[in-house]
């Protein structure tokens, strides 16, 4: 019986030594420093006019970069071509515009209500209007790309534009926003294929539909 116990003790001792031997490997460690730069989202609203000869020119601005007023009469159609240019990473784009009119009274702006039918602006079918008032561009715009025009002209009604609009100034204020096309989250379970599919929460102003 004693011999068996001694034999077991020797075996256990040998196992223990063998286990310690498996730890005698050369080891090393290292740290890698990787540099990853983030991309940019950079868009610009471009306003142009089509001249009588068919050529396009930038919408006129003054020395401060403010748009120059263009005289318009009832029944006239004014060329105003609005596009959005993408200067950097591929992006989905949306835009909206607001039409306001006013007269100067004692050098102060006095708003004028624009009644239905006085001013007509037809938007391009490449832009889908959302329930939130934004127009969503159909396709992602690549770097250096330009959208189809949001609209190309402004029509002033002859029959509906009365004398109350004489001497008035009409402004069309345009806003545009962009989100990255890469990995853009969807507002539903379907893949994002156009700007209107993008989750509303990630747009800069976060306007919910």
Pairwise pLDDT comparison (71 vs 125), residue with the higher score: 125
Q: What is the pLDDT of residue 114?
A: 86
89 is a domain residue:
yes
Q: What is the mean pLDDT of residues 79-96?
A: 93
Question: How does residue 198 score in pLDDT terms, banded at 50, 70 and 90?
Answer: very high
pLDDT digits over 176-194, tens only? 999 999 988 999 888 899 9
32 is a domain residue:
no
Q: What is the pLDDT of residue 32?
A: 56
How many domains does the chain fold into?
1
Instruction: Name the helix (H) or strand (E) containing 11.
Output: helix 2-21
Q: What is the dihedral of CA 78, 79, 82, 85, to 10 degrees?
A: -160
158 is a domain residue:
yes
| 3-state SS assignment for residue 15 | helix
- Domain extent, residue 127, equals 43-202
Kindly list the distances between the CA atom of residue 11 and the CA atoms of 8, 16, 106, in Å, as whole numbers in the listed order.
Answer: 5, 9, 108
| 3-state SS assignment for residue 48 | strand
Q: Is residue 18 predicted with pLDDT exceeding 50?
A: no
13 is a domain residue:
no
């Amino acid at each position: 019986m004693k011999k068996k116990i001694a034999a077991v003790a020797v075996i256990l001792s040998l196992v223990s030594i063998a286990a310690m031997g498996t730890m005698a490997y050369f080891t090393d460690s290292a740290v890698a420093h990787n540099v990853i730069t983030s991309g940019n989202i950079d868009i610009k609203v471009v306003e142009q006019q089509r001249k009588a000869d068919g050529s396009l020119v930038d919408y006129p601005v003054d020395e401060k970069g403010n748009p120059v007023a263009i005289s318009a009469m009832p029944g006239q159609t004014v060329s105003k071509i609005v596009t959005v240019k993408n200067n950097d990473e591929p992006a989905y784009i949306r835009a909206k515009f607001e039409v306001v009119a006013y007269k100067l009274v004692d050098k102060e702006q006095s708003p004028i209500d624009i009644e239905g039918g006085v001013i007509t602006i037809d938007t391009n079918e490449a832009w889908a209007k959302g329930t939130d008032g934004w127009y969503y561009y159909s396709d992602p715009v690549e770097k250096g790309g330009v959208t189809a025009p949001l609209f190309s002209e402004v029509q002033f009604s002859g029959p509906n534009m009365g004398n109350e609009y004489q001497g008035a100034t009409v402004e069309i204020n345009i806003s545009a926003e962009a989100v990255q096309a890469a990995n853009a989250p969807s507002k539903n379970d379907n893949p994002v294929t156009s700007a209107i599919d993008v989750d509303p929460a990630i747009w800069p102003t976060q306007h919910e539909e």
